[in-house]
Structure 1
Amino acid sequence: MDFKITGKHITITEAMRAYAEEKTSRLPRFYNTVSLVEVVVDGDQTAGKISVEIIARGEHSNVFVATEAAEDAYKGIDAAVHKLEEQLRRKKTKERNNKHTGPWPEPA
């Protein structure tokens, strides 16, 4: 899985990079076709909030996006990863349910 982190109006420290990479490395556990994870951290100086957007790209043009605003970048990463885990879990459940619908009906 490829990982990319970008900071807008904020400098990304090595600790923040390692933390985001550690948290997002668990995402393929929920949906195994995740191939690229992008984390965008945007620091808004006027409001004092930091917004975190995580974009996970999977096979067959599946794109999952989670956005969270928090006072701390680490809290924002945690909340956005949690939202993304829920999205991936729901998608995998839908695929499993559609896969095992039963045999085709016999023609009359």
Structure 2
Amino acid sequence: MSEFERANLISWARQLAYNGRLLELVDPSIHSLDKDQALLCITIALLCLQRSPSKRSTMKEIVDMLSGEAEPPHLPFEFSPSPPSNFLFKSRKKARTNSCQNGEEEKKAAYIIS
């Protein structure tokens, strides 16, 4: 795997998922790791990255999986190699927009990709 692919967490996770090595996402300095819990959390995170929004789990389904009331689906599933284009990133640059509401000026901040 290239350094570029490792720099993108989602691409790295996808590659590890395809190779059955998801636990490599976990910081090796964590010594008291519950591997089953780590795999559950990683799998649930990957559920949120599926290409089709209709295939993503609802918050209720996620809570049920975390509480043990439901089983997560098995890998593999398709998840995006990068966040959607309309995803707002926190950046050093800040775009500000102004809007009027009830005669008062309201400042809104949106983060942009730098």
Q: Structure 1 length normalisation: TM-score?
A: 0.26
Q: Which has the higher strand share?
A: 1
Larger Rg: 2
Of structures 1 and 2, the one scoring higher in RCO (CA 8 A, sep 6+) is: 1
